[in-house]
Structure 1
Amino acid sequence: MKHLSLFLCQILVFSSLLTIIPSIEGRKFHRGCKKHHKGYEDSCTSISIFNILSFGAKANGVSDDSKKLVATWKAACKVPGGVVQIPSGHKFLLKPVTLQGPCMGHVTLQVDGTLLAQPKIGSWSKSNLFQWINFKWVHNFTIQGSGTIDGQGYNWWKPMKSKYISDIKPTALRFYASEDVTVRDITIRNSPQVHLKFDNSRGVKVDNITISSPGNSPNTDGIHLQNTRDVEILHSNIGSGDDCVSIQTGCSNVHIHHINCGPGHGISLGGLGKDKSIACVSDILVENSNIQNTLYGARIKTWQGGIGLVKNVTFSNIQVANVNFPIVINQFYCDKSLCQNQTGSVAIKEVNFERITGTFSTQPIHLACSDDVPCTGINLSDIQLKPSRGPLEGSQNQEALCSNSYGNSKGPLIPSSMNYCLKKGGGVSVHKFSRSSNELC
């Protein structure tokens, strides 16, 4: 009997210890409870926090913590509600990593510290030049926090004298084949190339983030969307050396609002149809945003020779300041000094530019559409654009240019040349090509 009492006592002590000693891999907390819709019992979910420091990260900004981050991710991925914690006050140097799903449930990457890419180009492996932090097949995922993701891209922006990397430069954060992704509150800066990319994904929300790199940093798009749909980008500040937001082929149902864009190349669809490829983009709304000190404002750009269709696009309530070309459609896009002339183009129709006001430094509106495939259904409404520095040198630049563009205009329109810019109706070739474009897309 004495031995039995001692045994029971030991069990009670051991059980007590289990309740007060946290897991080596993670601490569990209750996320919250809510009443079950069919009964009276509360159903509670819990979260487990996995701190990268607990997995051996050095956190000194010099030692490589890549494997520690992957190990932390794998642990959090195995439990519902897992949180990967990057604590504040620490710097973590990372080589290229892939954080792969799917996971057991919702996973959060809580970035309150600083993640650093390798600054020396020679430190990068030739097989890992496409992206730095790669999220693959993640579903129901959030990255958030008060921290910074720093691509340290200064050396990548210089003209390359070596053939080590050719034209390939890493994207800072890339999501591939992912769904229900939220990115909020964090800062992403100085990426070697694109800062934040979504590829073949669905259900994306980007809220209250800051993206920054110098205006002369080449090809450092802020947010790049490709083959991605059901997207909302809002309440964010984006300044870079290229497009603040770049919308590429395969994108639809994209809503961008309350964005501050600049420096950079504005908010752009394209370039689309490169190398005679098929491009399909539809249902894009950009509204209630500010664009300042950029090369372009609201822009659609396509390559000659491409096929496909851009339709149902609206730029509304956009305030521009010192933008070279606030309104642009260019079906002759070329990123070289000279491109070969080709027939055919991605069709563009049902595009609205409305309530766009502010100042420009070169030309207020530039619609250069193809002879073979003119732009149709273009609507200009309440456009008021004035030179940012008084009379421009070469006053013809103040005139609106609308080549092979069909649609309707209604006032007020400033400069007044916009009243006579668009043509009415459309040609037979337009309708013929529109039918084939609709079939492709």
Structure 2
Amino acid sequence: MMRILILSLFYYSSRLVLAANPTYNVQSYGAKSDGKSDCTKAFLSAWGAACATTAPATIYVPPGRYLLRNAYFSGSVCNNTAITIRIDGTLVAPSDYNAIGNIGSWLKFERATGVSIYGGTLDGQGTKLWACKNSGNNCPKGATSLAFYNSNNIRINSLVSLNSQMFHILFDGCRNVNLSNVRVSAPGNSPNTDGIHIHQSSDVTITNSHIATGDDCVSIGPGASNLWIENFDCGPGHGISIGSLGWDMNEAGVKNVTVKTATFTGTENGVRVKTWARPSNGFVTNVVFQHLVMVNVQNPVIIDQNYCPDHQACPHQGSGVKISNVRYEDIHGTSATQVAVKFDCSQTRPCSGIRLDGVNLTFRDKPATASCSNAGGSADGVVNPSSCL
């Protein structure tokens, strides 16, 4: 009798939990998994239903391919601060890039709190737009595949992003973000397809992820702080870049960035700090690059404060961005160019507090070299090429 009572209570409590934590299947709102039917309204309806409850809720995307046009998931009228989006299928952008045009984002979350995305694939179908851009025709700028604006407590796990038109994943004005087991894939010649872009955001962690793309694997913009990137593979791509910074005179700085236990394979850069050669009150400080492996990387370690493509909008100017307290520890591997370490700092605001410790980079059958301009700091332990600080 007691056992029956216990089982009955367990069954009743389980039913209560299920009732309190509902799941909204996008197919129940009309989504079809044929990759051809427009599922945008169905996804937004499922979002609206999940937002209407205050209990933790799940939006479920079954296996299959789901075509979505640009979808805007607003959190401003959302009661729920614990929505999980569990994806077992693939979300597909329109193959006609004009269907999205210049709206900026394909899948956009704004003022959302407590959103978690688990699994799934995003297929941005950017191939035709890249071809248009490479042909020199008048083309749309393209859309970021997944963007979060002014959102907090975001979790993304085991997501795959393929062939975005432009950036793959973007965070702007966000706080407390965790990405793990994320994979980004696009050809090495795909234009402006940054893997993850972080702007005006804090407390962002990226772990156990692999990014192969045509631009920066991770790009870090103004106002980013308290970033942690660990167990990370990059390549092809342009490496991990802080910048470009300093386009505006009044610009928020970048601080407290750690990149550790990462491998860069065949990338244009390894770890880079890049600023425009323009007046600015921006800054970069308290950065650690640690336990990194470079495999045939063109610029394994680089600070470029004279960034000025085509010598327009900044000729003969010095960068106003102040770079200080940047540490390079235990970085080894091979450089694809003879200058393996390059610190090209601002003539008006020189770099300070640069520290090399255990850096060992080689270049084919010739000695690798280091180049310094307006850079101050120190070197400890084995440093190859010899420090120019």
TM-score, scaled relative to structure 1: 0.80
CA distance in 2, matches of 1:83, 1:142: 9
Aligned to 2:320, the other structure's residue is in SS state coil
Coordinate RMSD, CA, aligned: 2.0
Q: Please give the residue correspondences for 1:377-392 in structure 2 after superposition, counting only pairs within 5 Å.
A: 377-387=353-363, 389-391=364-366
Q: Please identify runs of 4+ aligned residues in structure 1 that moved more than 4 A.
A: none
The residue aligned with 2:4 is none
What code does the residue aligned with 1:408 have? Answer: S
Larger Rg: 1
CA distance in 1, matches of 2:274, 2:20: 48
Q: Are 2:347 and 1:371 equivalent residues in the alignment?
A: yes
Of residues 153, 159, 174 in structure 1, which corresponds to 2:147? 174
Aligned to 2:349, the other structure's residue is in SS state coil
The residue aligned with 1:232 is 205
Q: Are 2:235 and 1:259 equivalent residues in the alignment?
A: no
The residue aligned with 2:220 is 247
CA distance in 2, matches of 1:202, 1:28: 35
TM-score, scaled relative to structure 2: 0.91
CA distance in 1, matches of 2:331, 2:306: 24
* Residues 337, 276 of structure 1: alpha-carbon distance in 2 compared, 3 angstrom cutoff: same
Q: Are 2:388 and 1:401 equivalent residues in the alignment?
A: no
Return the offset for 1:81.
1.3
Return the offset for 1:104.
2.0
Checking the alignment, whether the CA contact within 8 Å between 1:103 and 1:139 is kept in structure 2 is: no
Aligned to 1:139, the other structure's residue is in SS state coil
* Residues 111, 337 of structure 1: alpha-carbon distance in 2 compared, 3 angstrom cutoff: farther
Q: Are 2:349 and 1:361 equivalent residues in the alignment?
A: no
What code does the residue aligned with 2:144 have? Answer: T
Q: Please give the residue correspondences for 1:97-108 in structure 2 after superposition, counting only pairs within 5 Å.
A: 97-101=71-75, 102-108=78-84
Deviations 1:145-187 (A, max 9, x none): 2x2111010012124454352xx22000000000000011110
* Residues 275, 358 of structure 1: alpha-carbon distance in 2 compared, 3 angstrom cutoff: same
What code does the residue aligned with 1:193 have? Answer: M
* Residues 67, 245 of structure 1: alpha-carbon distance in 2 compared, 3 angstrom cutoff: same
Checking the alignment, whether the CA contact within 8 Å between 1:253 and 1:283 is kept in structure 2 is: yes
Q: Are 2:264 and 1:291 equivalent residues in the alignment?
A: yes
Checking the alignment, whether the CA contact within 8 Å between 2:306 and 2:318 is kept in structure 1 is: no
Higher mean alpha-carbon deviation, 349-358 vs 335-344, is at 335-344
Deviations 1:124-164 (A, max 9, x none): 3x4x530100011110110012x211101001212445435
* Residues 97, 29 of structure 1: alpha-carbon distance in 2 compared, 3 angstrom cutoff: farther
Percent identity between the two aligned chains: 37
Aligned to 1:163, the other structure's residue is in SS state coil
Q: Are 2:90 and 1:120 equivalent residues in the alignment?
A: no
Deviations 1:362-401 (A, max 9, x none): 12101001111100000011000011x333xxx7xx3100
Of residues 380, 384, 387 in structure 2, which corresponds to 1:414? 384
Q: Please give the residue correspondences for 1:38-437 in structure 2 after superposition, counting only pairs within 5 Å.
A: 46-79=20-53, 80-88=55-63, 90-101=64-75, 102-124=78-100, 126=101, 129-145=103-119, 147-160=120-133, 161-165=136-140, 168-305=141-278, 306-336=280-310, 339-362=314-337, 363-387=339-363, 389-391=364-366, 398-415=368-385, 417-418=386-387, 421-422=388-389
Checking the alignment, whether the CA contact within 8 Å between 1:318 and 1:357 is kept in structure 2 is: yes
* Residues 219, 28 of structure 1: alpha-carbon distance in 2 compared, 3 angstrom cutoff: farther
CA distance in 2, matches of 1:28, 1:292: 51
Deviations 1:93-147 (A, max 9, x none): 01001011133230011111000001112323x4x530100011110110012x2
* Residues 135, 150 of structure 1: alpha-carbon distance in 2 compared, 3 angstrom cutoff: same
Checking the alignment, whether the CA contact within 8 Å between 1:28 and 1:49 is kept in structure 2 is: no
Query: How many matched pairs?
Result: 370
* Residues 343, 209 of structure 1: alpha-carbon distance in 2 compared, 3 angstrom cutoff: closer
Aligned to 1:242, the other structure's residue is in SS state coil
Aligned to 2:22, the other structure's residue is in SS state strand
Deviations 1:243-275 (A, max 9, x none): 111111001100110001111011110000114
CA distance in 1, matches of 2:40, 2:303: 43
Checking the alignment, whether the CA contact within 8 Å between 1:270 and 1:301 is kept in structure 2 is: yes
